[in-house]
Amino acid sequence: MLSIKNINKQFGHRPVLRDVSLEIGDGELLGLVGPNGSGKSTLLRIVVRVVSCDGGSISWNGNSILNAGADQRRPLLYLGHEPGFYPPLSAAENLLLIAKLYGLEPSPADVEKNLSEVGLDPARSGPIREFSRGMLQRLALAKTLTIPWELLLLDEPTTGLDKQGKSMLSQLIETWRKDDRSLLLVSHDEEWLSSHCDRMVQLSNGRIQRSEVDGEKSVQTELVGEA
């Protein structure tokens, strides 16, 4: 279980997150929505320690992630808004490199299989600098098949994906649901998000404004009045 407690973050004098607390249970698919600049991406980046926070605590299964060694991040996999690859390398080289960063040694055949599964040509050896946004997004999804994870944090995963790509992503999410994996999804597409998530949380002005279970407003936080 991921437990986020009283997270605060300011960029300069501008508060981005204010006392944000959230929990994601085992096997839960949580959707995070909110307007631009509400702090959704920042929260995800704080969880995986790409961004520091000004206060609060985050733990995974009771083990603190903040101020802990790199090994505590091993169960978490973060797919950011940007692809997170090296442009001069090929798709297979990028995947192999990322696997090695997680201490894995996948065979080239495994990497090729994962690339094929997300609809990329494994024989393509050119640099990913030539890839379209949608192809980069598919490559990012190949990471989820290469790295073993317990909690997946996805920031705008539908960006650049065509209809086929979105359908593939939906299938992957359903597979993960069946496998009882935990997901934290951020998207502007509230409709798409609500069709996949068990619970939706809205962030506005850096605060949690509302929380819904299966589309019904069954949990209401008391922070709506805060600007």
Q: What residues line the site for another protein (CB under 8 A)?
A: 45, 48-52, 69-74, 76-78, 80-89, 93, 97-98, 100-103, 127-128, 136
86-90: long-range contacts, CB 8 A cutoff, minimum separation 24? 86/128, 87/127, 87/128, 87/129, 88/127, 88/129, 89/127, 89/128, 90/124, 90/125, 90/126, 90/127, 90/128
Name the residue among 139, 119, 117, 118 with its Cα closest to residue 128.
139
Q: Smaller CB distance to another protein: residue 74 or 166?
A: 74
Residue 46 Cβ vs another protein, minimum distance, rounded to whole Å: 9
Closest contact distance (angstroms) between CB of 154 and another protein is 13
Q: Which two tokens stand for residue 149?
A: 């994870």
Alpha-carbon span 42 to 52, nearest angstrom:
9
Looking at the Cβ atoms of 71 and 222, the one nearer to another protein is 71
- Our CB check for another protein shows the closer of 139 and 200 to be 139
Q: Which two tokens stand for residue 134?
A: 């949608």
The residue among 88 and 215 lying less far from another protein, judged by its C-beta, is 88
